[in-house]
Amino acid sequence: MGNNSLTITDNRTGVIYEVPIEEGTVRAMDLRAIRTGESDFGLMSYDPGFANTASTRSSITYVDGEKGILRYRGYPIEELAERADFLETAYLVIFGTLPDEVQLAAWRSEIGGHSLLHMNIQNLVSTFRYDAHPMSVFISSVASLSTIYPDSRRVTDPENRRLQVERVIAKVASIAACAYRHNQGFAFNRPDASLSYIGNFLNMMFRMGEGRYEPHPVLERALNVLFVLHADHEQNCSTTAMRVIGSAHGDPYSALAGAAAALYGPLHGAANEAVLRQLEAIGTPERVPAYIDKVKRGECRLMGFGHRVYTNYDPRCRIIKRIAEEVFEITGRSLLLDVALELERVALADEYFISRRLYPNVDFYSGLIYRAMDLPASLFTVMFAVPRCCGWLAHWLEAFDDAEQKIMRPRQIYSGVSERRMG
Ligand code: CMC
């Protein structure tokens, strides 16, 4: 083992162990050999929130939280946001390389061919209450796709997995649009395969009447960038949920519904909705200092701030801030942007946030763009979930090709009563 090892002295027994270090990690199973005797189960690591545990190898997304670096398959996020469209990015994230012209044309046509939703799913969306949260509608409808495609249970067949991937990328956009239209009380729009993925998404959301929908190029570009930025973010809460559920080899729609349910939490993807509600509650830039005091007293969290991994800045936030300015040039500037800018300015100068290394994250400005597009706040997390499906699928696929992956089943430290009797 040489220098690439860790020497551990167990002070309970005086025994010395040498544990190999590979790629900056020790294997948790190597700790099992550290025991006080025959009846001892062996040492485990305790890591609530998996704050320092690598659960997998992955070649999809690289994040350096200290330096604020994010790359998909090696490409910097800044370059992809500038030059790639969402379907190219999805192909890259899922299959590992950017598509050549032929592959891209085939990919676009496969996705286009799957975008029509089965009537049962459209009917299902229609049955939800008019004020049902669109994210609840999205989760339930994605799960229900498994009733339409029972073949999706054949997860050990690589060709079948590929078919489900194409279906998902197409149908989640259609489901999201239906969830929005139902929320607004409008009839569902048919997809238009002659438009780009983003253009068609805008068409399914916003087309009124029968004419051909022409997406506004600035809004189409802004949404494309937002989708590229949200495509993947390695082992976060929802991706881990996808991997955990996927590890039991159920169908991908059920696993995706579970991942989307994780995203729905306000500490994760629903933070974008919470940010907007927070900005509305603050109302004006003058009221920002009082709100910051409330956060510092522990009465609430500053939504859209803080990240488990990024401790200097979130590179996605910088790009979104720039895109927001472009969008506001055509939609008009909103007072909420001034509140957000003031909130950021005050927080970044405050010792509470500096000492805890809390910076704006991806969710801080994205909601302002969605609001400028006239979307209700309740739809924001759905707008996160649609592009993130590509990341969830990439991780789901990767696990099948990883011989070390098995059903996920962590350990616990039992802290209950050891044994008792009734009566
Ligand atoms: N506002 C105020 N204080 C905060 C915040 C915040 N947004 N985030 C963390 N802290 C404080 C926290 O109270 C704690 O302070 P102390 O040490 O005095 O107890 C310290 O910072 C460390 O916080 P933590 O909860 O241990 O950090 P974490 O890594 O477990 O949580 C987080 C990360 C993102 C859940 C958290 O920062 C948070 O709740 N942020 C607000 C919600 C949010 O914006 N979520 C979106 C995350 S990015 C996109 C995504 O994942 O979908």
Q: Is 12 helix (H, G, I), strand (E, B) or coil?
A: coil
Residue nearest to atom 27 of ligand 1 (CA): 308
Catalytic residue among 114, 268, 338, 350: 268
pLDDT, tens digit, for every residue of 142-167?
999 999 999 999 999 999 999 999 99
Which of 57-71, 159-173, 321-335 shows the lowest mean pLDDT across its residues? 321-335
Ligand 1 within 6 A of CB of 361 = yes
pLDDT tens digits, 201-227: 999 999 998 889 999 999 999 999 999
pLDDT digits (tens, 9 = 90+) for 165-207: 999 999 999 999 999 999 999 999 999 999 999 999 999 999 9
Examine the residue annotation and report whether 268 is marked as an active-site residue of this protein.
yes
Copy the structure tokens of residue 247: 């590890």
- Residue nearest atom 35 in ligand 1 by C-alpha distance: 267
User: From ligand 1's centre to the CA of 319, what distance in Å?
Assistant: 21
Torsion on CA atoms 309, 312, 314, 320, rounded to nearest 10: 170
* Catalytic option among 363, 374, 395, 402: 363
Rounded distance from Cα 68 to ligand 1 centre (Å): 17
Residue 69: strand pairing partners: 64
Q: Is 308 in the pocket of ligand 1 (CB under 6 A)?
A: yes
Contacts of 182 (CB under 8 A, 6+ apart): 125, 126, 128, 130, 132, 134, 137, 188
Segment 123-148, tens digit of pLDDT: 999 999 989 999 999 999 999 999 99
| pLDDT of 377 higher than 80 | yes
Question: Count of alpha carbons within 13 Å of 293, Cβ hemisphere only?
Answer: 4
Ligand 1 touching residue 267 (CB < 6 A): yes
Tell me the residue type at 84. Answer: A
* Reported confidence tier of residue 334, pLDDT bands at 50, 70, 90: confident
pLDDT for position 1: 67
Q: What is the pTM of this model?
A: 0.94
* Nearest Cα residue to 56 out of 307, 256, 240: 240
Is 303 near ligand 1, meaning CB less than 6 Å away?
A: yes
pLDDT at residue 312, as a whole number: 86
307 a catalytic residue: yes
Nearest residue (CA) to ligand 1, atom 22: 356
Which domains are seen in the chain, by residue range? Answer: 5-45 (no CATH), 67-263+389-400 (1.10.580.10), 271-372 (1.10.230.10)
Pairing of strands 69-72, 75-76: antiparallel
Total residues found in the chain within this entry:
423
- Which of 133, 230, 307, 395 is catalytic? The answer is 307
Residue nearest to atom 46 of ligand 1 (CA): 268
Query: Which tens digits make up the pLDDT trace of 222-234?
Result: 999 999 999 999 9
